[in-house]
Chain A
Amino acid sequence: MSSRRSSRGNISEDEINELISKLQALLPSSRRRGSGQASTTKLLKETCSYIKSLHREVDDLSDRLSDLMSTMDHNSPGAEIIRSILRS
């Protein structure tokens, strides 16, 4: 199976493992737990939930920022600076 895959896709099992561990390093839960190699299934599941939580966070933060922007006085120095941040 693996030999067939490697001959076809030119991607070795090692590369996949490397990517998996890279992905694991990105996840907060696995980082906290240490370097214990979790199963790929669990890892992918965690990735799913993490991506979802990140989505939620981004949405939440965007909402907050837009709220702040709307409540802020337009010609205050704060608004000025936020605008510059957004532009950059």
Chain B
Amino acid sequence: MDWEILQEGTDASGIERDAQASRTRPSLSLPTPHSRTHPSYITGSHAAAILSSHHLHRGAHAKAACPAVLSVSLVLGVDLISSRRELVMARCQGTVESLCQGLLDLDDDKFGAMCSAFGYLQEWPDLSAMCGANLGVPAVVAPLAGDGDDSSCSGSGGGGGGGGFRKRRPDTYLDAKGDGNDMSKRPRGKQQQLCGHGEMAEPGKGKQERPKASAKKKAEPASTAAAADQKTDYIHVRARRGQATDSHSLAERVRRERISERMRYLQELVPGCSKVTGKAGMLDEIINYVQSLQKQVEFLSMKIAASNPVVSFDIVEDLFGRQLKQACSPAALPAMALPAGQLEPPCLQNQMSPCPMQQVHAPAAAASTGFGLDMVVNNNLYPPAMASCPVSAATPESAAAGPSIEPCLNVNGTAAWDISSQNLFSGFDAQFQSVESDCLLDNLKMEM
């Protein structure tokens, strides 16, 4: 390790930066962890000090960098014990958070006293730029920076000390961010390798700080896909603490989010759905609603077809197509046997047949494969109609409209109305009405 080079390159500039910082920012309300730790290490080893300050400068990654700082100082055998530092170090034992918290918990007075004891400025030295100027630094820095990246990727960053840094030093934050991005652009594998190196560099010592970071690393299998995913839409797909970050988990999370978003949307669309809790209840409600809407549409188109068959033929055909699927069931087909018996082949061809019954049924037979259900309706309901109005549907008018009208007759069971709408007879309205309502009810029942 080129600790010497580091020392040479950074010490003077560090001081210089300190002075600069104090010029540009004469009064910082809160002392920063960086300036707190900086004096602690620089007395023992300048290299450690540079490293530590550099890493603490990486505002966003400061939390994770802290244990790294500790471990570096320990590796280098920096054994600087003063009462203040003991305080800091004692507080820093344990987790990353407690470390940062320990640094932050010191109040201004204590910190000022500490700084004055070490003869350092109470300001941030802008060491990140300085370290960038140092040739030897990046290589040494990498393992520690890797730690920082890992922890920030798994979403623990931002709280506590990190947030504080950003507020105090926006420019430093930007620096750190750029730095972090650079780091995250590095291949994951290399980073891990470097991290491993960092771990090797502190055998036996600093054990308390490591478990957290390594646990985070374990939780992150670090497949390149996952890394790419995180980079591309990490705003939406941000793993929270304790959440898995491999590609499958991320994809699954995205999927679930999308589904719940749609469910929310449907909840708005379906009335009464917001009261229901649970996915199953909501789906049930949605199904019911769709069914009721379908029925409503059919009912309305029926009514329109009844009142104006020629105009609304297209709608009826829609409806027809919809019914076709349901009517195609095997259960409905045997029923065709009955009406089929009444249908003579000539009638099938002859729309001008004088028998209204046949006229009604002929198209149904022509399309018989699909209309079993309708034929049942016809079979059950037309005989009374026939009894009441035996003749005369075969006016030229109805015959001319035959091809277009009759499908809707079959669908709706409103043949009687179509006939009567052409003013053929006015005396049978009562019967027609009863037939019609029966037909409608039947149709609806069959839809169920």
CB of B116 closer than 8 Å to a CB of A: no
A11–B259 Cα distance when bound, in Å, is: 17
**Chain B residues with Cβ under 8 A from A65's Cβ?**
300, 303-304, 307
Which residues of B in the span 77-127 have a Cβ within 8 Å of any Cβ on A?
Answer: none
The smallest C-beta distance from A50 to any residue of chain B, in angstroms, reads: 7
A17 and B381 alpha carbons, distance in the complex (Å): 40
Query: Given A26-B291, A41-B259, A65-B303, A81 and B436 touching (CB < 8 A)?
Result: yes
Chain A residues, CB < 8 A from B312: 64
B287 at the interface (CB under 8 A from A): yes
Closest residue on chain A to residue B280 by CB atoms: A11
For residue B283, which residues in chain A have a CB less than 8 angstroms away from its CB? 16, 19-20, 23
Partner of A77, one of B270, B303, B421: B421
Judged by a CB distance under 8 angstroms, whether B237 is at the interface is: no
A38 at the interface (CB under 8 A from B): no
B255 within 8 A of A: yes
Interface positions of B from 273 to 318, Cβ below 8 Å from A: 278-280, 283-284, 286-287, 289-291, 293-294, 296-297, 300-301, 303-304, 306-308, 312, 315
CB neighbours (8 Å) of A41 from chain B are 255, 258-259, 262
Query: Is B287 a contact of A77 with CB atoms below 8 Å?
Result: no
Question: Nearest chain A CB to B291's CB is how many angstroms away?
Answer: 7
Compute how far the CA of A84 lies from the CA of B420 in the bound complex, rounded to whole angstroms. 14
> In the complex, how many angstroms separate the beta carbon of B397 from the nearest chain A beta carbon?
15
CA distance A62 to B34 in the complex (A): 72
Q: For A72, list chain B residues within 8 Å (CB).
A: 307
> Which residues of chain B (146-161) have a CB below 8 Å from chain A?
none
Closest B residue to A81 by CB, please name it: B417
List residues of chain A with CB within 8 A of the CB of B296. 54, 58
Per-position 1/0 for A45-88, Cβ under 8 A of B:
10110111011011001101100110010000110111011101
Q: In chain B, residues 43-74, which have Cβ atoms closer than 8 Å to a Cβ of chain A?
A: none
CA distance A11 to B301 in the complex (A): 38
Give CA–CA (A71, B291) in the complex, Å: 31
Q: Which residues of chain B have C-beta atoms less than 8 A from A64's C-beta?
A: 304, 312
- Residues B294 and A26 in contact, CB atoms below 8 Å apart: yes
How distant is A55 from chain B, measured CB to nearest CB, in Å?
Answer: 7
Q: How many angstroms between the C-alpha atoms of A71 and B280 in the bound complex? A: 46
Inter-chain contact A58/B297, CB cutoff 8 Å = yes
> Please, how many angstroms separate the alpha-carbon atoms of A82 and B290 in the complex?
26
A44 contacts B436, CB within 8 Å? no
Which residues in window 211-252 of B have CB below 8 A to A? none
Report which of A26, A61, A62, A68 forms a contact with B287, defined as CB distance below 8 A.
A26
Complex CA distance for A81 and B299, rounded to whole angstroms: 15
The answer to whether B290 and A62 touch across the interface, beta carbons within 8 angstroms, is no
Quote the shortest CB–CB distance from A35 to chain B (angstroms). Answer: 13
Contact B293 A16 (CB under 8 A): no
Complex alpha-carbon distance, A31 and B263, angstroms: 21
The answer to the question of A22 belonging to the interface, with a C-beta cut-off of 8 Å to chain B, is yes
Q: Are B304 and A51 in contact (CB under 8 A)?
A: no
- Cβ of A34 < 8 Å from any Cβ of B? no
The answer, yes or no, to whether B144 is at the interface (CB within 8 Å) is: no
Q: Across the interface, do B293 and A58 meet the contact criterion of CB distance under 8 Å?
A: yes
Q: Contact string, B423-446, partner A, CB cutoff 8 A, digits 1/0?
A: 100100100110011001100000
Does A36 sit at the interface, judged by CB under 8 A? Answer: no
Q: Are A51 and B270 in contact (CB under 8 A)?
A: yes
Instruction: Give residues of chain B (389-431) contacting chain A, Cβ–Cβ below 8 Å.
Output: 417, 420-421, 423, 426, 429
Q: Which of A11-36 contact B (CB under 8 A)?
A: 11, 15-16, 19-20, 22-23, 26-28, 31
Contact surface of B with A, Cβ cutoff 8 Å: 255, 258-259, 262-263, 265-266, 269-270, 278-280, 283-284, 286-287, 289-291, 293-294, 296-297, 300-301, 303-304, 306-308, 312, 315, 322, 325, 417, 420-421, 423, 426, 429, 432-433, 436-437, 440-441
Which chain A residues have a beta carbon within 8 Å of chain B's beta carbons? Answer: 9, 11, 15-16, 19-20, 22-23, 26-28, 31, 40-41, 44-45, 47-48, 50-52, 54-55, 57-58, 61-62, 64-65, 68-69, 72, 77-78, 80-82, 84-86, 88
Sample 17 A-B pairs with CB under 8 A, ordered by A number: A16-B280, A16-B283, A22-B287, A23-B286, A23-B287, A26-B287, A26-B290, A27-B290, A44-B263, A61-B297, A64-B312, A68-B304, A78-B421, A81-B420, A81-B421, A81-B429, A86-B303
Q: A23-B283, A65-B300, A81-B420 are in contact. List 15 more A-B contacts (CB 8 A).
A: A15-B280, A16-B279, A22-B287, A26-B294, A41-B259, A47-B290, A61-B300, A61-B301, A62-B300, A65-B303, A77-B421, A78-B307, A78-B417, A81-B433, A84-B437
